[in-house]
Amino acid sequence: VRLHSHDVRYGSGSGQQSVTGVSAADDGNSYWRVRGRTAAVCERGAPVRCGQAIRLTHVGTGRNLHSHRFSSPLSGNQ
């Protein structure tokens, strides 16, 4: 399953865009750029270590993936 997102925002709260899981491998809205923490360098092609802090930026919208302690309004999962 791939993370999928596009510029459709939740209608309430912070207005963050929705992120879902899809099985399609050819969907352009499922491309994410792996980035280091704000001040860290993340070399292209370098493996991501277990426990390493990274950022995922949606290629199509340029917005970062956020996690938080609130349940999803769509699935009820975190």
Higher-confidence residue: 17 or 50?
50
Say what the pLDDT of residue 12 is.
62
pTM value? 0.71
Total residues found in the chain within this entry: 78
d(CA 4, CA 40): 26
Say what the pLDDT of residue 44 is.
83
pLDDT tops 80 at residue 38: no
Query: Are 61 and 6 a contacting pair, CB within 8 Å?
Result: yes
Q: What is the pLDDT of residues 1-31, one digit of tens each?
A: 888 887 777 666 666 777 888 888 788 889 9
Domains of the chain, by residue range, sit at 2-58
